[in-house]
Amino acid sequence: MDEPTTTRTPGRERLLAAASRLFYREGINGVGVDRILEEAGVTRATMYRHFAGKEALVAAYLESEDATLRGYFADAEAEGGTPTELLGRVIDTIAIDITSYHTRGCPFINAAAEFPDADSPVRRIVTAHRTWFRQALAELARAAGLPDPDAAAASLVLLRDAALVGGYLDGVEVTAPAFVATARQVAGLDV
Amino acid sequence: MDEPTTTRTPGRERLLAAASRLFYREGINGVGVDRILEEAGVTRATMYRHFAGKEALVAAYLESEDATLRGYFADAEAEGGTPTELLGRVIDTIAIDITSYHTRGCPFINAAAEFPDADSPVRRIVTAHRTWFRQALAELARAAGLPDPDAAAASLVLLRDAALVGGYLDGVEVTAPAFVATARQVAGLDV
DNA sequence: CAGCAGGTAGAACGATCGTTCTACGATATC
DNA sequence: GATATCGTAGAACGATCGTTCTACCTGCTG
């Protein structure tokens, strides 16, 4: 019958790509559905066939960001090496990410700024992403033998947030070195 | 019947207070002028007499936040003590701030998430605030004799951002201790 | 008391918001 | 080749956006 429908619906993909780009660059409440449709080269009916509404589009955007980051993490783990090396590689990857890709801050933080209701679907995705990231870091810190892995993970989450925000508002040339230096200190990589 | 001049224009003050509360709690694009007017108990004409438009109201909101934070800093300096003590007091003040007042993230970061144009008046206020804060911290770090005061200041700005965001999204009970511990480490207060 | 500002009130503006509607075209199955 | 299905097209909906308008009321100054 039907094989995987990954390329079956180009409309949906173009829609999600355009929405992701616009939501990230201009804020969620700042872009209307019309802008997204125009950018995607698609009409209203197509969008409402693939997504329940604008909020579902926002959710899909954040879900795909989450999937991308989990992919980064899995790739880093697949490369092997000691947990300590892996920790250093995660820090470097974040520095590259804020330099090249996420130059407009953190998608999740920015989204949360516009969605005050903590029970909303959007905020639930943000919370789930952050919980996963902190736990993944805590496991890594534990494997690396850090004295207080949970505290170290909390600090590293803190630092990634700050690096993303700072790269946007202060310029990456100021923020990235400060992030790497502080993070390596927290991770016990530099004594 | 003459009251002090501070209450001479209660309309403007009530307007700014209501706008600040709503902008911070629900996001800027998320609240309409109607909501602000209703909350302030004021009508449209009154608002447009005191402010050029909604964006001017946003600017006034951020300016007042900036003034408040500069006030905190000045108060801490006025208390006297060594630069090192002052540095520690600034860190403690931030921890108290994210615990008690700024529980919905950083007003400036949240605003920047909704204003993509770096040349816009709103973003200029954000930039000015951050520049001031980093320079003030750098002076303090220099006075405290830290080896690389500019780097330390950059890290501390990073950490305050993260603490504000983390307090909102992860809960202050997780974030505040992580912030204090990391910041004291960066500031050379704990060896 | 007359006159005049400045704050207030509420209606109304055009534009845009997110959403729903019906009609049309392409594709795949029987 | 007829038919059912799904994506597409574009108009239209009510609601809300930020802003402007005219009329009214108040408290000063002469």
How far is A13 from chain B, CA to nearest CA, in Å?
A: 24
Q: pLDDT of A53-85, one tens digit each?
A: 999 999 999 999 999 999 988 988 898 889 999
Task: Please report which confidence band the pLDDT of residue B138 belongs to, taking 50, 70 and 90 as the band edges.
Answer: very high
Of B26, B114, B182, which has the smallest distance from its Cβ to A30's Cβ?
B114
Is there a common fold for A1-51 and A58-186? no
Please determine, for residue B173, whether its predicted confidence score (pLDDT) is greater than 50: yes
- Find the distance separating the first CA and the last CA of chain A, reported in whole Å: 60
Please determine, for residue B95, whether its predicted confidence score (pLDDT) is greater than 90: yes
Q: How many Cα atoms are found within 13 Å in the side-chain-facing hemisphere of B82?
A: 6
Mutate to test the interface with A, among B106, B158, B172, B173 (most CBs of A within 10 A): B158
pLDDT recorded at residue A4: 36
CA B88, CA B143: separation in Å to the nearest integer?
Answer: 13
User: Which is it for the CA torsion A34, A40, A46, A47, positive or negative?
Assistant: negative
CATH of A58-186, one of 3.40.640.10, 1.10.3720.10, 1.10.357.10, 3.40.605.10: 1.10.357.10
Please determine, for residue B176, whether its predicted confidence score (pLDDT) is greater than 70: yes
CA A148, CA B183: separation in Å to the nearest integer?
Answer: 16
pLDDT recorded at residue A45: 86
Taking contacts as CB-CB distances below 8 angstroms, the residues of chain B near A109 are: 105, 109, 113, 165, 169
Q: How many CB pairs under 8 A join A and B?
A: 128
CA B93, CA B48: separation in Å to the nearest integer?
Answer: 37
Task: Please report which confidence band the pLDDT of residue A167 belongs to, taking 50, 70 and 90 as the band edges.
Answer: very high
Angle (deg, nearest 10), helices A54-78 and A83-100? 140
Q: pLDDT of A16-53, one tens digit each?
A: 999 999 999 999 999 999 999 988 888 888 888 889 89
A32: CB within 7 A of chain C nucleic strand: yes
Domain boundaries, chain B: 1-51, 61-186
Which pair of structure tokens corresponds to residue B150? 């500019």
Percent of chain B with pLDDT over 90: 65
User: Which is it for the CA torsion B38, B43, B49, B53, positive or negative?
Assistant: positive
pLDDT recorded at residue B9: 57
pLDDT recorded at residue A132: 96
CA B128, CA B62: separation in Å to the nearest integer?
Answer: 11
Residue in A with minimal Cα distance to B174? A154
Mean pLDDT of A78-99: 91
- CA of B104 and C1' of D7: distance in angstroms? 42
Domain covering A1-51: architecture? Orthogonal Bundle (1.10)
pLDDT recorded at residue B1: 36
- Spell out the CATH class of B61-186: mainly alpha
| Strand D nucleotides with an atom less than 7 Å from a protein beta carbon | 7-12, 16-23, 28
The three-state DSSP-derived secondary structure of chain A is CCCCCCCCCHHHHHHHHHHHHHHHHHCCCCCCHHHHHHHHCCCHHHHHHHCCCHHHHHHHHHHHHHHHHHHHHHHHHHCCCCHHHHHHHHHHHHHHHHHHCCECECHHHHHHHHCCCCCCHHHHHHHHHHHHHHHHHHHHHHHCCCCCHHHHHHHHHHHHHHHHHHHHHCCHHHHHHHHHHHHHHHCCCCC
pLDDT recorded at residue A121: 94
pLDDT recorded at residue A107: 96
Cβ contact, residue pair B163, A158, below 8 Å: yes
Percent of chain A with pLDDT over 70: 94
A5, closest nucleotide (Cα–C1'):
D6
